[in-house]
Amino acid sequence: MKIAVLGTGTVGRTIAGALAGLGHDVVIGTRDPEATLARTEPDAMGAAPFAQWLEEHGHVHLARYADVATDAELVINATSGAGSIAALSAAGAENLAGKILMDIANPLDFSHGMPPTLNPVNTDSLGEQIQRTFPDAKVVKTLNTMNASLMVDPGRAAGGDHSVFVSGNDSDAKREVTGLLKSLGHQDVIDLGDISTARGSEMLLPIWLRLWGALGTANFNFKIAR
Amino acid sequence: MKIAVLGTGTVGRTIAGALAGLGHDVVIGTRDPEATLARTEPDAMGAAPFAQWLEEHGHVHLARYADVATDAELVINATSGAGSIAALSAAGAENLAGKILMDIANPLDFSHGMPPTLNPVNTDSLGEQIQRTFPDAKVVKTLNTMNASLMVDPGRAAGGDHSVFVSGNDSDAKREVTGLLKSLGHQDVIDLGDISTARGSEMLLPIWLRLWGALGTANFNFKIAR
């Protein structure tokens, strides 16, 4: 499948690399490719400069948001939550229309200090904001409840015996995304319902962040035991 | 141990019955015992009239909030979240001082329709509100992330292979509560940190409610797979 991943951070790189490894035709989108490639310092999260990563992943290409979205059959939002609407707007509503838009971002708000809180929260979600802003895209919220390494290699924790959620208004889009998740090794994909259920999966972030601290590792995930 | 359970709903009854069954001296607190006993209709959640339940649990007694809190060594808040501060105020700050106050309530807000949202949320929690209002109590948030039946009989789902969280500022109080949870059959008790981590466990409620709908049963729980 032709897949556009928006976002050059750890999450974008990890999912792009894994999907390319599965044989998909993957392009990463960014606001300004020249600026992204010119960086020589680690990013805010400590990840190596993007150009270095790209060199090690020759089968993945980098281009402007709109350029990658035009040709894509499926678009993945892996930008920071606070910048997602702007990034998707740059990709172009007309380039997202009719396509599956996998939203794996979280609306983390660092303005109250650490740990970050959520904005929006409770009566709204980033997934819903994106669906409202791009009504012709088929938004599916997923994968936002775990570390990037586990997104693409669930077996790294508890032998993969844990859960991943999908939320969205379009059943066919959720079925397609479920197939993609299973191809990455996810065993237990739970359909929560329409896109408003993204409130629930996004609101897992606060306890995820505290568990990261309490357990001293990010190599854990939620399992719905039943 | 002398335990006061505040709240006569399904959660209060279930935990009171189970702790009495373990040999504890359990009293249930309510605002107006005569009014509680006079009810002949099922409550808002469909539970049988309290008087009927009490008749079947002769070893549990009912009294006013303040009367049960005075003699208790440990107090459990099993009232509705919206009424918790009022109920605890009626129990009396002086009767809570120096005691462990297990808060198992959730601040569900039904004013936006169904499903309920949370109030407070994100930058505050019911656990913190209670700790701020009763600074001399040792508040431990726990058990609020699962169905009442699982609180007292975790083996009912996945053979008990799931997790329960504790949040609180007092390590000794968390240790004592952890012992009580283990005596109820909980195998994996995770200490999230201070009482502000109650934000995280309370914010599990929205996805819990959606999972209840998606799975068609409340007999599930979160496991932190690692």
B121 touches chain A (CB under 8 A): yes
Q: How far is B31 from chain A (nearest CA, A)?
A: 31
Q: Is B224–A224 a contact, with Cβ atoms under 8 angstroms apart?
A: no
ipTM score of the complex?
0.97
Specify the pLDDT at position A43. 85
Q: Is B210–A192 a contact, with Cβ atoms under 8 angstroms apart?
A: yes
Residues of B (155-194) whose Cβ lies below 8 Å from A: 157-158, 161-162, 165, 190-193
Q: Residue A28 burial (CB < 10 Å; 0-12/13-18/19+)?
A: buried
Q: Residue B84 burial (CB < 10 Å; 0-12/13-18/19+)?
A: buried
Structure confidence by residue, pLDDT tens digits, B169-206: 999 999 999 999 999 999 999 999 999 999 999 999 99
Contacts of A91 (CB under 8 A, 6+ apart): A4, A6, A29, A65, A66, A68, A69, A75
pLDDT-derived band of residue B225, with 50, 70 and 90 as boundaries?
very high
Q: Is A207–B192 a contact, with Cβ atoms under 8 angstroms apart?
A: yes
pLDDT-derived band of residue B153, with 50, 70 and 90 as boundaries?
very high
Residues of A in contact with B213 (CB under 8 A): 193
Residues of A in contact with B201 (CB under 8 A): 207
Cβ(B49)–Cβ(B36) below 8 Å = no
pLDDT-derived band of residue B58, with 50, 70 and 90 as boundaries?
confident
Q: Which single residue is written with the structure tokens 């035009």? A: A70
Specify the pLDDT at position B10. 96
Number of residues assigned to chain A: 226
Examine residue A42 and say whether the peptide bond preceding it is cis (omega within 30 degrees of 0): no
When CB atoms are compared, the residue of B161, B193, B217 closest to A213 is B193
For the record, the structure tokens of B210 come out as 């959606």
Structure confidence by residue, pLDDT tens digits, B68-116: 999 999 999 999 999 999 999 999 999 999 999 999 999 999 998 999 9
Q: The pTM is what? A: 0.97
Contacts of A111 (CB under 8 A, 6+ apart): none
For chain A, domains (ranges, CATH) are 2-215 (3.40.50.720)
Specify the pLDDT at position B18. 98
Q: What value does the mean pLDDT of chain B take?
A: 97
pLDDT less than 50: residues of chain A: none
A219 touches chain B (CB under 8 A): yes
Residue from B122, B125, B187, B219 whose CB has the most chain A CBs within 10 Å, to mutate: B122
The answer on pLDDT for B46 being more than 90 is no
Structure confidence by residue, pLDDT tens digits, A120-157: 999 999 999 999 999 999 999 999 999 999 999 999 99
In this prediction, residues B7-21 reach a mean pLDDT of 97
Residues of B in contact with A223 (CB under 8 A): 162, 222-225
Contacts of B206 (CB under 8 A, 6+ apart): A122, A199, A200, A203, B115, B117, B118
Report the share of chain B in percent with pLDDT over 70.
100
Specify the pLDDT at position B138. 98
